[in-house]
Structure 1
Amino acid sequence: MKRILIILRRLHHGGIETASINLANALADQGHEVHLWVLRGEARMHPAPNVHLHQGQDIEREARQYGTGLLMHLLNRALLRFLFRGSHFVWLGRTTSRVAQRKVAEMEARYGRFDQIIVRGQGAFELLWDWRDPRIWQVVEGTMLKLCRYRWQAWFSRLLFQDKQVVCVSEGLASTLQLFLNETGVTTARTEIIYNGLPLQCIREQAAGPAQPAFSSPYLVHVGRLVPVKNQALLLRAYQESGLTCPLVIIGDGSERAALESLSAELGLNDRVSFLGHRDNPYPWVARASAFVLSSSFEGLGMVLLESLACGTQVVATEVPGGIREILVGEQRRLLAEPTPTALAAKMCEALSDPVIPDATWLTRFDDRKLAQRYLELDSPSHD
């Protein structure tokens, strides 16, 4: 039995959060003691009861309350953020790293020493960048575009990745990260590739539940955070260009919702597009849809694609950097589209006129129990 700590900045609704809970549950189901620590705020998603959930704290606020943390916070607000744009995490992370180490020591005093510490997502990397421990593995799940915007990107990437142990959730993402690190002169201690796992049976059971409001078939469905990288504006423009009259159901919420609803009205789609907002269980709508459509500009892996295939629903997706091609194999690749309205519209029409029947064997590589085992093997002597 191993004792494992998984750390996230927040536990809201999203792909990183879902993948983290899947991993925690799979490890716990195999008899390991798993702790899931949320660095900021209350959890909006929850792991299985046999996972220890630590939530309700805010190490950023705690780090700013006194001493060096308070001084650096005031200096950053008054001066440093103007001199070094994008450097807020540098000054904050020194103190939050110390706070995190102290809190983990408190956990270990109560539960025992952790054998492995898994830090997921750039938000958590930034808060813990100055904590160096051979037990830590950083799981990269998204693009480095945020860092690329800044003049000091080499400095920032060195703090986040130099000599760190890294897991990438797809080969495509690993290639993208390596190109970025090569450009900034950064070398990781180790880089491994482990896909995010999927609890297939659990998803299929949830998919059998009711879908209210219900939509008559055929209809298209999209599930995702309404944020720029998911590029739902492209989805709406492609749908309008396709001339399809079947409904388009969009499930999710986020910063772009108002703008997307305005765009839908501007394109004259309000009678065919339904924004359902966030749903704790979107699978009944996915399972009953004729096709799932993904319009992202980048996907580290694309958990929603796996979930759609698990529901037995074919996928139309943009062919963009990341791990999408690693999920969509066999005949399913026929419905990959260039990221333009015209190309995506054509593939949406093709999915309805000449559908792909998902093959259950496509998902065997993403079994959550087998992929959880890969994490356990990272530190074994035979793996080195």
Structure 2
Amino acid sequence: MQMKRIFIAIQYMELGGAERALLGLLDALDASRFQVDLFVYRHSGELMPLIPSKVNLLPELPAYRAISRPLKDILLEGKLGIAGARLWAKWRSARFGKSLDGLENYAVFDDAAAAVSPFLPSLKKLGMYDLAISFLTPHRIVRDKVRARRKIAWIHTDYSSIGINVERELPVWRGYDHIISISPQAGKGFLSRFPELEDRLVQMENIVSPEVVREQAALEDVSGVMGGSPCLCTVGRFSHAKGMDRAVRLAARLVGLGMEQLRWYLIGYGDEASLRREIRDCGMEEHVIILGKKANPYPYMAACSLYVQPSRYEGKAVAVREAQILGRPVAVTRFPTSAGHVEDGVDGMIIPNEEEGAAVELFRLLNDAGRLESLSAECRRRDYGNRDEILKLEELI
């Protein structure tokens, strides 16, 4: 039986939930049945070494690397066409952003891809694939540059909570045979913007291996790093969506309520300078600790009293599931997809998505040892393994 050829594209392998979800997908694909070519536009990120050896990592191409590199670097390399295209896309997105009424402007990703696409070499010389996957935005590139009998794009966020240009993006999504949503709630958010694509939507959860998470958690003793009573932890990009700035202000409220020994550890990367300013402005230097990038965040997650996801919105936060696998009680803010993360009051708590109410609920939870243990016990009892999700993808090939 001839092996099926699969092409998968992603921008880079930084420390993010989507990138970890991709590792789970790659691990689950049967190497005896599928030849997988992975195209990473820019070979950067702490997760690059974790790409399974059974996967064929395609060479980096300079033009594709330039999609997300700083404009200054692109100009120094003499790539004037790509630099000019990105500047034009930035201007176009900024104009569109004025109409979004406070929503985060996600149109910038598609605008940038549309602008630079003419400068990107075709990937059709790689031959015909049975399946081509665009695992993360922008999705124009796989649509336009790859030959495949079927094409699939992934949804990793809640489209009802972000600003996009529906008119410009609809033709992009129409270029895919199937669109995979990582949760029912994320799918519902997507259809609120693209109802005409309902027949292409397929639900498939991010694949997470409990065995790998637990093994990684046992590799390092972080007791000398993690302290505080209570000891809180959050993992994610330092971005508006993830609400790391709110974690700082929530910590200040909890300290003000008497939790003077509180320590809240933030693991991730992004706009660290703004986050440090927030910590300084709130006087939280002793209470909120930025640990930065951690290729293996699991020992830190396993050591916390409570894992908190203070996001403004989410698709499906992989870190929440990983914390549950480690038997940690979890609190997530109430966003449209929060019910897909935890069973409220059973294996996690859903708290208000505004700071005053969230602080009150966190204070109550952290002062209720019995409730914390009940949440933790339920997480330990449940089997969060979902390797069989890969069968949904195999049916589409």
TM-score, normalising length from structure 1? 0.82
| Alignment partners' CA distance in 1, 2:89 and 2:245 | 37
CA distance in 1 between counterparts of 2:161 and 2:365 reads: 34
2:61 corresponding residue in structure 1 = 57
1:73: Cα distance to partner? 7.1
2:102 is aligned to none
Q: Distance between the aligned counterparts of 2:252 and 2:140, measured in 1?
A: 40
16, 19, 32: which is aligned to 1:17?
Answer: 19
Which segments of 5 or more consecutive residues in structure 1 lack a partner in the other structure?
106-112, 380-384
Contact (CA 8 Å) 1:10, 1:40: kept in 2 or not? Answer: yes
8 Å CA contact retained: 1:325, 1:333: no
Number of residue pairs matched by the alignment = 356
Contact 2:66 2:82 in 1 (8 A): no
Distance 1:280 1:325, change over 3 A: same
Query: Residue 219 of structure 1 aligns with which residue?
Result: 231
| Aligned partner of residue 332 in structure 1, secondary structure | coil
Match in the other structure for 2:52: 48
Q: Residue 159 of structure 1 corresponds to which residue in structure 2?
A: 171
Match among 236, 239, 252 for residue 268 of structure 2: 252
CA shift at 1:253, angstroms?
Answer: 1.4
In the other structure, the counterpart of 2:297 is 282
Q: Alpha-carbon deviation of 1:306?
A: 0.4
Q: Are residues 1:181 and 2:181 paired?
A: no
- Distance in 2, matches of 1:75 and 1:286, equals 41
**Is the CA contact (8 Å cut-off) linking 1:310 and 1:360 kept in structure 2?**
yes
1:205 aligns with 2:207: no
Q: Which amino acid aligns with 1:204?
A: R
Contact 1:7/1:118, CA 8 A, preserved across alignment: yes
Write the distance in 2 (CA, Å) between the matches of 1:126 and 1:147: 19
Give the C-alpha shift of residue 194 in structure 1: 0.4
SS for the counterpart of 1:339 is coil
Whole-angstrom CA distance in 2 between matches of 1:291 and 1:30: 41
Distance 1:23 1:160, change over 3 A: same
- Give the Cα separation in 1 of the matches to 2:307 and 2:143: 37
Which amino acid in 2 is paired with 1:215?
M
Shift of 1:370: 0.6
Q: Determine what percentage of the aligned residue pairs are the same residue.
A: 20
The aligned counterpart of 1:236 is 248
Deviations 1:196-233 (A, max 9, x none): 01011010011112244422354111111111111111
Find out whether 1:172 has 2:164 as its counterpart. no
1:229 match: secondary structure: coil
Q: Distance in 2 between matches of 1:360 and 1:117?
A: 37
Letter in 2 for 1:148: G
Q: Equivalent residue for 2:129? A: 114
Which residue identity lines up with residue 218 of structure 2 in the other structure? A
Task: Report the alpha carbon displacement of residue 315 of structure 1 after superposing the two structures with TM.
Answer: 0.5
Give the deviation of 1:145 after TM superposition: 7.2
Matches within 5 A, 1:268-307: 268-307=283-322
The equivalent of 2:104 in structure 1 is: none
Q: Partners in 2 of 1:359 and 1:251 — Cα distance?
A: 22
SS of residue matched to 1:40 = coil
Q: Higher helix fraction: Structure 1 or Structure 2?
A: 1
The 5 A counterparts of 1:125-136 are 125-131=139-145, 133-136=148-151
Contact 1:129 1:159 in 2 (8 A): no
1:122, distance to aligned residue in structure 2 (A): 1.4
CA contact (8 A) 1:314 1:332 kept: no
RMSD: 3.1
Distance change (3 Å), C-alpha of 1:40 and 1:144: farther
Question: 2: CA distance between counterparts of 1:129 and 1:328?
Answer: 34
Does the CA contact (< 8 Å) of 1:219 and 1:291 recur in 2? yes
Q: TM-score, normalised by structure 2?
A: 0.80
